[in-house]
Amino acid sequence: MNENHTLIVGSIGLDTIETISDRKESVLGGSATYATVAAGKSSAVHLVGIVGDDFPRESMSVFKTTTYDLSNLEQKEGKTFSWGAKYEKNWDNRHTLFTELGVFNDFNPVLKDQNKEVPFIFLANIHPTLQLLVLNQCIKRKYVIIDTMNLWIDTERNKLKEVISSCDLLLISESEAEQFTKRKDHDDQGTVLQSLGPQNIIIKCGSKGARLYSGHQLDKIGVFPIKNVIDPTGAGDSFGGGVTASLANGESLIESMINGAALASLTIEGFGIDTLHNSNINEIEKRKEYLRTTLNS
């Protein structure tokens, strides 16, 4: 199997998104969806997920055009995972309106043989027990990236620590880093998180960019300026998919972080995956060029 193959596991859902200017229903979403569309721009994605029998045909076609292997995408009788949220004017405050697990409630993935051998693995934001279940089936893993969220920090701290200790790169937002480490200083957060096992930590700082702690080194990037934010949902997942794809292509951690940031900037310019899915390599490269100018500035 070529090195640039990536395995992505996470949620696939139909979202309802409310902003100050619009409301959209049944928007294709979920952590695995955003990560897959982002990673699929430059790597061969093996997708692990589950949907219900209500999953739209046009949404399934998105995966058929962005992935290499769908053998672990299950479709079962029942409803697809759905989630609704409302954003305030400042975009920083988001209120969850509902969460309906549907078939995702009984998700218990058993990897196909070819998917057990994928070298680069992104465990997107799902329950740590599910992350471990998939990871333990990966017999030829070379590099493991994980993402998480505040809910698991609150409710599954010990299990989450077990996943973190098994990964090579942890992605975490600055609010989650503070919550997990009980430290306010980013450098202190990086040190505490590295002490759990992974020597590579990326703290996502939203409109302030991202910070990479790798060994004893710190590198920072800014953001690509967006004039009109439409929907910030999934930006972090797109970032993770972009990072994973770049690493699978043999690029450095810094270049991988830049690629992730470029893809995240595209995500927030449209509802769901629309802008990201329709973007071309030239636009992505232009944003990466700009982001390189912000490195450690």
Q: What is the pLDDT of residues 92-120, one digit of tens each?
A: 788 899 999 999 999 999 999 999 999 99
Mean pLDDT computed over every residue of the chain: 95
pLDDT bucket at 282, cuts 50 / 70 / 90: very high
CA atoms within 13 A on the CB side of 281: 4
Label residue 179 exposed, middle or buried (CB < 10 Å: 0-12, 13-18, 19+): middle
Dihedral through CA 295, CA 224, CA 19, CA 87, nearest 10? 0
Alpha helices (H) along the chain:
31-39, 57-66, 113-116, 128-135, 150-155, 157-165, 174-181, 186-194, 235-248, 253-267, 274-278, 281-293
CATH topology for the 5-293 domain: UDP-N-acetylmuramoyl-L-alanine:D-glutamate ligase (3.40.1190)
291: pLDDT strictly greater than 70? yes
Distances in Å between the Cα of 150 and the Cα atoms of 154, 157, 173 are 6, 10, 9
pLDDT score, position 90: 81
Q: Do the Cβ atoms of 245 and 41 come closer than 8 Å?
A: yes
pLDDT score, position 2: 64
Domain ranges of the chain: 5-293
- Rounded-to-integer distance, Cα 96 and Cα 83, Å: 8
Model confidence pLDDT, tens digit, residues 38-69: 999 999 999 999 999 999 999 999 999 999 99
CA atoms within 13 A on the CB side of 84: 9
- Rounded-to-integer distance, Cα 140 and Cα 76, Å: 29
Q: What share of the chain is helix, strand, coil (3-state, %, to 5)?
A: 40, 25, 35
**Average pLDDT of the residues in 212-239:** 96
Q: Do the Cβ atoms of 145 and 123 come closer than 8 Å?
A: yes
**Average pLDDT of the residues in 160-165:** 96
- Rounded-to-integer distance, Cα 50 and Cα 76, Å: 7
CA 21 to chain centre: 26
DSSP letter, residue 41? T
**Average pLDDT of the residues in 124-128:** 94
pLDDT score, position 266: 98
Among the listed residues 67, 102, 100, 69, the one whose alpha carbon sits nearest the alpha carbon of residue 85: 100
pLDDT score, position 48: 98
Model confidence pLDDT, tens digit, residues 66-92: 999 999 999 999 999 999 999 988 887
**Average pLDDT of the residues in 197-223:** 96
3: pLDDT strictly greater than 80? no
Model confidence pLDDT, tens digit, residues 4-25: 999 999 999 999 999 988 999 9
Q: Do the Cβ atoms of 109 and 135 come closer than 8 Å?
A: no
267: pLDDT strictly greater than 90? yes
